[in-house]
Amino acid sequence: MKKQEVVDTIEQAGLNIHELYSRAWSTALYPTQYGWGTSIAWMAAIPVLSMASFGHMVGNAVVQQLPPSVFGDSSKPTDPPG
């Protein structure tokens, strides 16, 4: 994979995490609208999504600092080890 492909993939993952985090809060805050079971499940997901967001932030910072040569060229086929 090229560096830009990795950056794009990480960016998409961040958007997905953000969307789920927003959904978790909106569902958790309105149990009468979504049901208590669903709201409690989303409440339990909030800390998990917070850690995912933190992991995404750290991973993104690391990838941004790496030189493009680390990622190789996806247009070249790779030989299997051995």
Amino acid in position 68: P
Q: What is the DSSP letter of 77?
A: P
In angstroms and rounded to an integer, the radius of gyration of the C-alpha atoms of the chain is 18
What per-residue confidence (pLDDT) applies to 77?
58
**Could you give the C-alpha distances from 23 to 4, 11, 29, 34, 82, in angstroms and in order?**
29, 18, 10, 11, 47
Report in angstroms the alpha-carbon separations of 57 from 41, 52, 80: 25, 9, 32
pTM: 0.76
One pLDDT digit (tens) per residue for the chain, 82 residues: 788 888 899 999 999 999 999 999 999 999 999 999 999 999 999 999 999 999 999 999 999 898 888 887 655 555 666 5
Residue 76: predicted pLDDT: 58
